[in-house]
Amino acid sequence: MAAKADKITLIGGWASPFVMRVRIALNLKGISYEMLQETVGKKSELLLVSNPVYKKIPVLIHNGTPLCESMIIVEYIAETWKSVGMPILPSDLYDRAIARFWTAYVDDKLHGSIIKLRKMMKGTPEAEVEAEKMTTTLQLLEEAFWKCSLGKSFFGGDNIGCLDIAVGSYLGWIKAVEKIVGIKFLDEEKVPGLVAWSERFCGHGAVKEIMPDADKLVEFTAVLMRATAAK
């Protein structure tokens, strides 16, 4: 457990997949923390002071010292509280490198498609093209799941690991864009391994209470779109 003197604060937002990564890691380790929600369209003074370079969430403040970038924070949590709970990082350095590779891949391809698709309308040619890219990304992740999991429940094996956190943080948004563009991405016929994995991941005790509801994310998207149009 975290030492009694430890003060842990997370600056973030409920809809951010990157913030969710940090929350899952903290939950897996059983670490208590204070969550400070940022207001959409505004940046608090604490955020600006704590992350003066990128000025983005999440920021973890551990005993007054800020740390930025979601997977850097996840690794910090995994190493700082290594003896608490199940390990988050692979012990094998090659496996750890592979997890980092796929994390970079999903942050490039999956995140990019989600950002584009949530701005599109059902049935448009643009949505169909981007949907194909999303489908290809998920099919490659399906192959990666079988290779990394070795037939076990998670990318990390028997337990949730850093790659599960990286990919799983997008599940709420994948379901949200399914509703927005009317296309099923987590399809049992195309990616059966990922579908079964996503159900296990979302049902895990460290995840289920903080996984954002797809309908709320759709509403959140509408608010963002209106705010952008008003500028």
Q: Is 132 helix (H, G, I), strand (E, B) or coil?
A: helix
183: DSSP letter: -
* Burial class (CB within 10 angstroms; exposed 0-12, middle 13-18, buried 19+) of 49: exposed
Per-residue pLDDT at 121 = 87
Whether the bond into 58 is cis, omega within 30 of 0: yes
Start-to-end Cα distance in the chain = 46
Per-residue pLDDT of the chain in tens (231 residues, 90 and over written 9): 454 568 999 999 999 999 999 999 999 999 999 999 999 889 999 999 999 999 999 999 999 999 999 999 999 999 999 999 889 999 999 999 999 999 999 999 999 999 999 999 888 999 999 999 999 999 999 999 999 999 999 999 999 999 999 999 999 999 999 999 999 999 999 999 999 999 999 999 999 999 999 999 999 999 888 877 766
Question: Tens of pLDDT along 68-127?
Answer: 999 999 999 999 999 998 899 999 999 999 999 999 999 999 999 999 999 998 889 999
**Taking a C-beta distance cutoff of 8 angstroms, is the pair 142, 194 a contact?**
yes
> Nearest 5 degrees, angle CA 165-CA 166-CA 167?
95
Half-sphere exposure of 21 (CA within 13 A, CB side): 30
**Domains located in the chain, CATH noted:** 8-80 (3.40.30.10), 93-222 (1.20.1050.10)
Alpha carbon dihedral 95, 97, 103, 104, in 10-degree steps, equals -160
Predicted local distance difference test score (pLDDT) of residue 73? 98
d(CA 208, CA 67): 25
